[in-house]
Structure 1
């Protein structure tokens, strides 16, 4: 008879403790990378790239979604995701001359990301690596390395390294745009992250203990947070979740939303907020089980020092809740079945 290891208490999981350290990670990262970010931003202002291309997988790709909206709203440069398969499987050359090519990776050794970075560099792009392992092959290949400074991350589920990726993108956008409000927000962000960790999101933990599926909705700068949350539901809780833009969900998927259907809404505090809140009320009118993360919602959203910081605060509160939910559903969030910490896709 096979024995089953007892589940840890919530505060003893690696996921809990790694996520809880995010504020300190971000503060250290901002200090460590300040000079490199300022130099890179000055270079980008002097020689603006025609566009930005990002390349990543998993949680890192969700960070790239945030980067897309961040660069397009703050510096007005079109940003798109480059599929890793284009360089690794299809070996199709891309026209990337003078582009800014951002690769995000925890390990910095995934073969497909390395091949795409090599191809981008050969095509004349400026390759910037956001990477946690500073002596990795990707870091050695890149023109500019922005260390995530997250330190060792032992839980399979990425937490502090994901938020460190968002923070690095935020620091770059702030110095690239030279927006005074966004620059000031960098100083306030670690403190806001600490407040977000203390926020009580137990209603969503209690409400989803017996769920089988759900939608996670976000929009604009908050879409990447919704994507990350949906992944974490699957990864740590064995709970099927799909992420949608609160605008795109109206194009078909909302037909599934009826009585009792769970919907988690991330209301980004900017021009997209009103539409997300209105959609949440529409779903409630259908009898759906709806939770809204906002300043006045079911799930408290800590006041962001700048709207672009809100996704980091949302996810920081979410990580504490998802850790508890995984345990409530009988899963150890540190060791999801069939998953490894590093996935080396070719």
Structure 2
């Protein structure tokens, strides 16, 4: 699929519209999708997989990393992120008996995702596709499928499909965790997630705050993003959004990894964006934040108000009372908006990044 034409739309119009759809998409998943996701989870839980492998590319790879945290923390299941070339290029024949392979893809059309999932099923795996296209080749070759119900996404930078994937994966893991327990009226983890659409609306309404941040960083030559725990996938996804829309080199690191060498490149010129999730991940990041302040870093914090007040700039998230594992669904939104606003400020069109296509045909 080719990039949308920037001559028929105002720059960024499509991306802006799809970001604005996110509260409605989250509601749709909770109202229309939660029961079906729980049913899929129960059928897979009955097979008692011993191990989980997650397969994805690009934005969906960051959603897969989020799922890895969920599965390891909430279920205690060992998880890994697959290297698809082991089967697609090297023709490896792993024994995947009793292994759950979850393949995540917005389009469900990338040939390497389809081929590796087909190979996994032939190797004995339980296969689950999580896509925004129930009629996709990936859904067809998988034993189970979850539709993230985001609706058509036309902008090349994925926004609403990413947060839809996160919520669908959260509900799936909650369904695995609750298998065999009495079914509640709201359907398992859907109750804890009910506040998400309203929180998302409040975050997305604060465009002026994000525009001020964008004006501050429109001339940045590079950015560093960091977090720990559930916030780490957010840092990676935000870096990807900044690179593919504004073309600013954006490097993402776990806070722990940042201290193992990359900290040396941090100065008082290039901004460091820290995603400080309210919970254990944020607590683990505090020593890193202290080191960044000691180095005089231009520190931008996405997190609670008290964390923002100790930074050079930031965006306070209204996540009081929201479980730590759900916060990534809203904490990415101001960073999506930042990527959008920086790109517009630099005179570029975030709807149509150069050299990119909606379906990336890697093999």
The bucket for the TM-score relative to the shorter chain is over 0.9
Distance 1:279 1:313 in 2: 23
- 1:211-270 Cα distance to aligned partner (Å, 9 max, x none): 011111011111111111111111000100011001111001001112223100000111
CA distance in 1, matches of 2:142, 2:7: 43
What are the superposed Cα offsets for residues 26-48 of structure 1, whole Å, 9 maximum, x if unpaired? 21123332232222222344332
Kindly state the Cα deviation for residue 7 of structure 1 after the two structures are TM-superposed: 9.0
- 3-state SS, counterpart of residue 53 of structure 1: strand
Q: Residue 257 of structure 2 aligns with which residue?
A: 248
**Cα distance between partner residues in 1 of 2:302 and 2:134:** 35
| TM-score, normalisation: structure 1 | 0.93
CA 1:343–1:154 in 2, change beyond 3 Å: closer, same or farther?
Answer: same
Shift of 1:201: 3.0
Partner Cα separation in structure 2 for residue 28 and residue 63 of structure 1: 19
Whether the 8 Å contact between 1:87 and 1:112 is mirrored in structure 2 is: no
Q: Is the 2:231–2:276 contact (alpha carbons within 8 Å) kept by the matching residues of 1? A: yes
Match of 2:353 in 1: 336
1:341 aligns to what SS in structure 2? coil
Question: Within 2, Cα distance between the matches of 1:153 and 1:45?
Answer: 31
CA RMSD, 1 decimal: 2.0
Contact 1:175 1:183 in 2 (8 A): no
Contiguous gaps of at least 5 residues in structure 1 = none
Distance 1:343 1:148 in 2: 19
1:279 counterpart = 2:279: no
Q: Which residue of 2 aligns with 1:236?
A: 245
Aligned: 1:205 with 2:214: yes
Pair 1:83 & 2:77 matched:
no
Is this contact kept in 1: 2:34–2:190, CA < 8 A? no
Change (3 A) 1:259 1:86: same
Indicate how the Cα distance of structure 1 residues 291 and 7 shifts in structure 2: closer, same or farther if over 3 A, else same: farther
**Whole-angstrom distance in 2 between the partners of 1:321 and 1:25:** 21
SS in structure 1 of the partner of residue 332 of structure 2: helix
d(CA) in 2 for partners of 1:273, 1:60: 23
CA distance in 2, matches of 1:5, 1:283: 43
SS at match of 2:272: strand
Look up the match of 2:53.
53
Query: Contact conserved, 2:132 with 2:147, CA < 8 A, in 1?
Result: yes
Say whether residues 1:270 and 2:279 are aligned partners: yes
Match of 2:144 in 1: 144
Write out per-residue CA displacement over residues 48-98 of structure 1, whole angstroms, 9 at most, x where no aligned residue: 211110111000101101010011111111111111212211111122111
Are residue 310 (structure 1) and residue 311 (structure 2) matched?
A: no
Measured after TM superposition, the shift of residue 6 of structure 1 is 11
Following the alignment from structure 2 to structure 1, what is the Cα–Cα distance between the partners of residues 347 and 8? 10
Counterparts of 2:109 and 2:8, CA distance in 1? 34
Cα separation, 2, equivalents of 1:130 and 1:226: 22
Distance 1:6 1:172 in 2: 39
CA distance in 2, matches of 1:84, 1:30: 32
What's the CA shift string for 1:184-207, capped at 9, x where partnerless?
Answer: 222222222212212433443122
Where do 1:183-194 residues align within 5 Å? 183-194=190-201
Q: Give the aligned partner of residue 338 of structure 2.
A: 321
**Aligned equivalents of 1:316, 1:164: Cα separation in 2:** 12
Taking a change above 3 Å as real, the CA distance of residues 150 and 167 of structure 1, as seen in their structure-2 partners, is: same
TM-score by length of 2: 0.89
Q: Which residue of 1 aligns with 2:298?
A: 289
Report the Cα distance in structure 2 between the residues aligned to 1:254 and 1:207, rounded to whole angstroms: 22
5+ long unaligned stretches in structure 2: 1-5, 309-313
Question: What is the alpha-carbon distance in structure 1 between the residues aligned to residue 101 and residue 255 of structure 2?
Answer: 28
The CA deviation at 1:282 is 2.3
